[in-house]
Chains A and B, each alone.
Chain A
Amino acid sequence: MAALLVSPTLLVLGLVIAYPVLSALYTSLFTAPGIDPKTGFVEDGDSFAGLDNFTSIFSAAGDRFWNAFWNTSFLTLTSVALETIIGLGMALIMHQALRGRAWVRASILVPWAIPTAISALLWRWIFDTEGIANTIINTEVLWTTEGFQAQVAVIIAEVWKTAPFVGLLTLAGLQIISEEVYEAARVDGAGPVRRLWSITLPLVKPALLVAVLFRLLDALRMFDLPYILIGPGKESVETLSMLAQDEAANVRFGPASAYAVVLFLYVFLIAFAFIKLLGADLLGDRQSGNGKPGARKRLSLMPGNGRGQQKEATA
């Protein structure tokens, strides 16, 4: 039964991801052929290079790689942290909103719904030297030149676009918490802050963690936003995905795949660490959810749970 339920997912993922990934792994072992100096034509067939593509990432292209590595890490860390805080705030506010929640929810969907390429253009236009951002702060900041301001621009645009993602997932998590848990806490005399820390956050944790985890995966692969907003090849915002893209654009699929594999390993490591540190309950083992007092209380008060949806339906 489990196999039956799980296999469609694995089949789709196997077809669309596993094969290309394996193919990329294979490609990463080859280098593009050189040009025959006599004819001027590129020679036939890729040549096997072993791990050369990988070693040259750290040696020949080392500076560029580490710069991109730190950029990727810095941009990811700051923007995901901000997104989490802002997204959680949004969710709490929306959950409290009594009237018009559907409208607020639709409006927070807007930044997330605009295609990244278009939203990057929008921000590029806002951050133009003569754009509205400079008009508002009334100074001429050259946002798209190298420097810290370029990173700030990327982070602002990224957080604007993706905080709603965290917000929506967290809101869904909030909605399945039953009112009775709060009721009981109030009777016990817990203040609003206490209720937030000891009830809301633990209960919303699984949803929030999934949201943050997927944000991490996405942010670490960030590409189009800095590429369009600031421009390709800018040291201050060049990310690892941009390096892979740059290699692929110059028809060097071997090195491009090697960068992709290195990035994959880095993402995997971060995700692994994240799950180990914060979200053991994400990876299975049912007892984790039941072990917490909040959850147990909720279980005993189950009937009220249906009401979460009721609110939803009529909001």
Chain B
Amino acid sequence: MSAIERRLLRCTAVTAALTLVGGCGLGASSVESGVSAKERGPITYVAGKDTSGVVPKLIKRWNDRNPGEKVTFIELPEDADAQRQQMIQNAQLKTDTYTVLSLDAVWTAEFAANRWIDEIPESSFPFDKTLGPINGTVAYRGKWFAMPYTSDGALLYYRKDLLEKANVEPPKTQDEMREVCGKVLKKQPGMSCYGGQFEKYEGLTVNFSEAVNSAGGQVTDAKGNPHLDTPEAKRGLDNLIKGFRDGTMPKNGITMMEETGRRAFEKGRLLFYRNWPYQYAVSNTKAKTNKVVNKFGVAPIPGEKGTGASSLGGHNLALANTARNKATALDFMRYMTSDEGARMRLTKASQAPVFTKLYDDPKLAGQFPWLPVLKKSIVGAEPRPRVVRYGDSTKVIQDEAYAALTGKKSSEAALKSMQKELNALKP
């Protein structure tokens, strides 16, 4: 027993000391920086559970080619919050367990500012070949901290069959959309005009940002300064509130997440629905509750005057600060983000690519009719707030926007406190 106690004491002392100095790595003694990495050897790739089945194949191919630099895949839970938590825990412990991290596009600033990830050398990654706005999600203070891996942008799904019957074109602006609804919905009982994601979660931040961007406003600029006290921001939010008040959006629209809305669209409850490209394949799959197979099309989301501006989603690959064998890691990141991998992810899992070349490939566009529309959507897209304290910022946005949409606050009051609180979150 005393032996156990002694061991226990020793260990607690060690960890307590670690907590005290808040540093001095447990695993790695001195780590090299990502920009001048030379060490090679086995590494790990850490990502949320792979939906495509492509990742194990890509890793196997890499391991066959590089026997001395084996990659092990560490799969994290499916839930994005859980992934982030695991990665932060690893960074807090300063172990070298995690090497290459697959980060949600909105986490880059936070991970970079906390030095949980390394700056990566600009020269060895093809940043010039990606669609412009995507690079906004991998830079922090003018330096590169990750390589874009997959992208995502908003599409407007519409009922092609009904629009053709009424002999109208897909709308470009929000007013046109209301007009089309006026014509079509008279003969469609139980159908509402438009839906998006307005449940209180990340989707609300996305849809709110898109509303503000589409009205010509900006939630935060590239430096992280909020601009919500502007007339554009107010018009953006008011457009959403009006949508709920006048029945353009259904009452249960406030509970919609990507999938709830998709099901409503498939049941024939919505004429227009804003969602990510993944829905295209899903809604074309026969199911008991799906009435829209081959009956829908996609267009860019409508704005106030002309096409709206989408938010950017997607994932980026970054290099964990406390990792070993960073030279191998950089090679592996290049390999994973390469054209070859991107093509595989697109064809096998409908994951949107980051390279301009793939969007312009006519063969792929034939196979994935949404690709050209998505390109337009991404080219006109705005990243979501690029702030270090993203978790707090998105919560502020959700709190205030939700209060405004449910009528608890006026749009003015909501935007005012949003502006104030986002300002307080700035460094």
Whether the Cβ atoms of A129 and B113 lie closer than 8 Å is: no
Residue in A11, A35, A128, A140 whose CB lies within 8 Å of B113 = A35
Q: Which residues from chain A contact B263 at a C-beta distance below 8 Å?
A: 130
Q: Across the interface, do B85 and A249 meet the contact criterion of CB distance under 8 Å?
A: yes
User: What is the distance, in angstroms, from B365's C-beta to the closest C-beta of chain A?
Assistant: 35
* Interface-lining segment among B53-61, B248-256, B280-288, B324-332: B248-256
Query: Given that A142-B254, A233-B200 are known contacts, is A40 also in contact with B113, CB under 8 Å in the complex?
Result: yes
The reply to whether the CB of B140 lies closer than 8 angstroms to some CB of chain A is yes
CB neighbours (8 Å) of A142 from chain B are 251-252, 254-255
* With known contacts A140-B251, A145-B254, A145-B406, A44–B427 Cβ distance under 8 A: no
B255 x A23 contact (CB < 8 A):
no
Asked, given contacts A34-B427, A249-B391, whether A42 binds B114 with beta carbons under 8 Å apart, the answer is yes
Kindly state whether residue A19 has any CB partner on chain B within 8 Å: yes
Nearest to B224 among chain A residues (CB) is A40
> By the criterion CB–CB under 8 Å, are A23 and B16 in contact?
yes
Q: Is A46 an interface residue (CB 8 A)?
A: yes
Residues from 373 to 391 in B contacting A, C-beta threshold 8 Å: 388-389, 391
Residues 92-117 of chain B, each 1 if its beta carbon lies under 8 Å from chain A, else 0: 00000000000000000000111100
In Å, the complex CA distance between A63 and B388 comes to: 25
Q: How large is the interface on B (under 10, 10 to 19, 20 to 34, 35 or more residues)?
A: 35 or more
Q: Tell me if A191 is interfacial: C-beta within 8 Å of chain B.
A: no
A233, B114: Cβ atoms under 8 Å? no
**In the assembled complex, A26 has its CB within 8 A of some CB on chain B:** yes
A28 within 8 A of partner (CB): no
Verify if B23 is at the interface (C-beta below 8 Å from A): yes
Q: Is B166 interfacial (CB-CB < 8 Å)?
A: no
Cβ A40 vs Cβ B255 within 8 A: no
The closest CB in chain A to the CB of B21 belongs to A45
A44 to B141, CA, bound (A): 19
Which chain B residue lies CB-closest to A141?
A: B252
A27 in complex: contacting residue of B8, B19, B260, B388, CB < 8 Å: B19
Interchain CB contact under 8 A, B392 and A233: no
Q: Is B32 an interface residue (CB 8 A)?
A: no
Chain A residues proximal to chain B, CB less than 8 Å? 11, 15, 19, 23, 26-27, 34-37, 40-42, 44-46, 128-130, 140, 142, 144-146, 231-234, 246, 249-251
Chain B interface residues toward A at CB < 8 A: 4, 8, 12, 15-16, 19, 21-23, 81, 84-85, 88, 112-115, 140-141, 199-201, 251-252, 254-255, 260, 263-264, 267, 388-389, 391-392, 395, 398-399, 402, 406, 408, 427
10 intermolecular pairs with C-beta atoms under 8 Å apart: A23-B16, A35-B113, A36-B427, A40-B140, A40-B388, A42-B113, A140-B252, A146-B408, A232-B200, A232-B201
